[in-house]
Structures are given as structure tokens and as C-alpha cells.
Amino acid sequence: MKVRILLAGAMAALALAGCKKSQSGSEGSTPVAESGKVTITQAAPPPGGTWGDVVNATTAGFMMGNPEAKVKLVEIGSLTCPHCKKFEEEGAPKLIEKYVKNGQVSWEFRPYVIHGPLDMAANIIARCNGPKSFFPLSMAFYKDQTAFLDKIQAVPQDKLAETQNLPTNQVFVQMANLMGLQDWAAARGVPQAKSNQCLADQKMIDNEVQFTADVSNQYPEFSGTPAFIINGKMADKDVTEFEKLDPLLEAAVK
């Protein structure tokens, strides 16, 4: 899946009512990258802490919790998806408190591109400072999600369209500018120069495209975000809230 495919249509309108996967999600993609591999830089909770304080990078995202947990939960989420925002604000705290802190469940978040360059810019900013800041940044983005999207919707369509004519490694710098992402990130520990460096990093851009393509290839039943995978098996598509996810996790833990 090429970057330009992600841009197509996203400039004209935002399908914010739903968070369905792109119909071109696997076009031009390469074979699925190895998934689930964890690069362990933090193997145990800090003194006085819990497994909720442990975060490691994975092949496609970031994992909070015990890397050796019996139950491995993967969430495929979009930072610009309202349904994902609802889970992060209402369900994630319960998930962490009940299952992650005690080491029973590890929670991996894999960012997925639903709304083209908006997700791409947000994903890259969230990843830019590495594992320790990923979850704080992604959760903060969800809190401010509506304000970011309101800013984009207020931008004239011709100005948005101009973004498509920029070199690929400048598209996401400009999109972040339109959302005010660099200043926002700087206030949360990511210097503006570093944000712009990450946003223009072709390797990071290519990786985001590949991660999104891999989801569709690895999980043909994937229909949109948020989606949850428990020990390699994707839950039904109606499992988007903690109340429906909870019994599945309880059964897996037992």
C-alpha cells in the first residue's frame, strides 16, 4: 500500500462517524512482517511499581505489561477514531487496573491508519520518543482528539488539497502543522525539531504504511477499529467496549 493511496479521499472528507478499514488496505503491500516480537528493554516493574509501568516496543506497536503474561491482548486502534477514543478513556483504565498491573495480561497497542495523513501524523508523533512516552502521548491525543479534528475540518479544502502536491516526507509535517501537533507535542516532552524530524523520516512513514497493510493481510476478518486480538485470535467485531472484552479476558486468564 503506497502513501498516495492513504492520501486519496482523506483530503476531501473525513468519515469520522465510523472507523472502518480502508478498502485499499492491502493494495501493493509486501508479505506480512513478523508480528508479536517484543524488543525487551524493560523486563520488570520498577521498585514500588507495577507491570503497568513496564512498556516495551513490539514489531508493530508498543506493549504495556508483563512480556511473559499468559494472556496477550493486542488492540488495533486509530488515534483519530472516536470509537477508539471511547475505549481508551472508559475501558483502558479498567483493563490496566484489573489485568495489566498484576501481570496477568499484556496489552499491545498497534496504531492503524484509518484517516490517511491525520493518523499518519499522529502515529509518528506518538512513536517519536519511543516506548516510555508512547502511551502517555497516545492517551493525551485521544483526550484532545476532537479539537484536532475540528481544526482540520476548519481548513479550506483547497489548502488541504495542496498538501498532496508536497514531497511525501513533507506531507505529514504540514498535516501536523495544520493540527497544531508540534506545539502540542513540545508541551509534552517532544521538542518541535524532533517532531519534524520524525514526521519527515521516510523510514517511519514507510513503516506506518506497512503496519497498516500487515493488519489486513494477517487478519482478513478485521473490519475496523478498535479491534482486539486475544492470544492470536481476533474477537468478534462487536467487541469494542471493555464490558464485552472483559469476559473474554476472564476466560483466557482462567
For 4-13, write each residue's pLDDT tens digit.
444 444 443 3
pLDDT average, residue stretch 230-242: 95
pLDDT average, residue stretch 228-252: 96
User: pTM of the full predicted structure?
Assistant: 0.87
Residue corresponding to grid cell 483502558: 92
- Residue 38 φ then ψ, to 5°: -110, 130
Exposed, middle or buried, 247 (CB in 10 Å: 0-12/13-18/19+)?
A: exposed
Residue 188, pLDDT > 60, answer yes
Contacts of 157 (CB under 8 A, 6+ apart): 11, 12
Residue 26, pLDDT > 60, answer no
Residue 35, pLDDT > 70, answer no
Residue 138, pLDDT > 90, answer yes
- The C-alpha cell that represents 245 in the structure block: 472484552
CATH superfamily of 3-253: Glutaredoxin (3.40.30.10)
Domain ranges of the chain: 3-253
